[in-house]
Amino acid sequence: MMTGFTEHVFTHDGVDVAYSSGGEGPPLVLLHGFPQTRSMWARIAPALAQAHRVICPDLRGYGASGKPADVADYSFRAMGADILALMNHLGHDRFDLVGHDRGARTAHRIALDAPERIDSLTLMDIIPTHTLLSKLSHQVAKSYYHWFFLAQPAPFPETLIAADPDYYFQSCLLGWGGATLDDFDPAQLAAYRVAWRNPETIRGMCNDYRAAILHDLALDTLDLAQRVTCPTLVLYGADGAMARAYDVPATWADRCTNIHAATVPGGHFFPDTAPEQTLVALRRFLDRS
């Protein structure tokens, strides 16, 4: 899957966490987003492994990781608990943490729940979950309609998506800033297709979005006064839906006390479509933090 990496499975609280690891040095966790798997790091992780011990898990509900039944099991807190338990298992008390999309939301929750564990935080192409859901504009609702489609009661979205998973999920990859399938690495795209054709993965991803509305919004409301104090990179696509709708760094100004901000050319899926530029931005931040 990734050059120089080995694949493993760790079980936390009855849920399998599939992950790839490689390299030596300070530990670094990379968390993928929707509708992808840890394969999204295939052109980034090996380069970072030259200076870090890099761990790339599949989030629960995604890829080869477990897919529990209850919606509550898909909160970002539950996803984050998997990562913290995995890093305990690997013997890492502290680590740098990078997340894209749903992985970034999980990473934010980890930084709130276990700030003593995180040396630095990178949030890729998101605004705070609470901001997006509580101050929703027509523009964002139109671009991010999937938040509300996928959150509909089962089995409504699962049934519609299962009719043609490739069509639906590729429409997601090609939105939110624009791209073509040719912009995605063929091997990574093939790995995504294998994962999202699994009905259990479709259910897991829908439950992820259900949990955001049913559980994460309330959890984030309780923590509105809490600040992330570690060095935080807000990295976003220069041409993405979030950049068009928001001053992205400004949405994090009252959530983080030590913010660095940068853009990468392209839309929401810039780790796939611009991996070299993404790598440059990550290295610059990790080296300074």
Assess if residue 208 is contained within a domain.
yes
- State the Cα angle at 171 between 240 and 269, rounded to 5°: 35
Structure tokens at 171: 């429409």
pLDDT of residue 215: 98
CB 71 within 8 A of CB 211: yes
pLDDT in tens, 258-284: 999 999 999 999 999 999 999 999 999
Q: List beta partners, residue 124.
A: 100, 235
Q: Is residue 17 part of a domain?
A: yes
156 lies in some domain: yes
Q: 199 lies in a domain?
A: yes
pLDDT tens readout for residues 221-238: 999 999 999 999 999 999
pLDDT at 118: 98
pLDDT surpassing 80 at residue 177: no
Structural domain includes residue 23: yes
> What was the pLDDT predicted at 289?
55
CATH number at residue 160: 3.40.50.1820
pLDDT value at residue 107: 98
Average pLDDT over residues 162-181: 92
Q: What is the pLDDT of residues 188-217, one digit of tens each?
A: 999 999 999 999 999 999 999 999 999 999
Average pLDDT over residues 250-258: 97
Active site residues: 101, 268
Q: Does residue 45 belong to any structural domain of this protein?
A: yes
Going by pLDDT thresholds of 50, 70 and 90, the confidence category of residue 175 is confident
**Is residue 1 in some structural domain?**
no
Q: What is the pTM of this model?
A: 0.98
Q: Note down the domain range covering 55.
A: 6-288
Predicted confidence (pLDDT) at residue 146 exceeds the cutoff of 60: yes
Q: How many domains does one find in the chain?
A: 1
Label residue 240 by pLDDT band (50, 70, 90).
very high
Residue 283 gets the label, from left (phi > 0), alpha (psi -120 to 50) or beta, of: alpha
Model confidence pLDDT, tens digit, residues 19-48? 999 999 999 999 999 999 999 999 999 999
pLDDT in the model for residue 176? 84
Three-state DSSP class for residue 32: coil
Does residue 105 lie within any of the structural domains?
yes
Confidence class of residue 150 from pLDDT cuts 50, 70 and 90?
very high
Going by C-beta distance under 8 Å and a sequence separation of 6 or more, which residues neighbour residue 69?
A: none
Q: 76-118: per-residue pLDDT in tens?
A: 999 999 999 999 999 999 999 999 999 999 999 999 999 999 9
Q: How far apart are CA 6 and CA 224, in angstroms?
A: 39
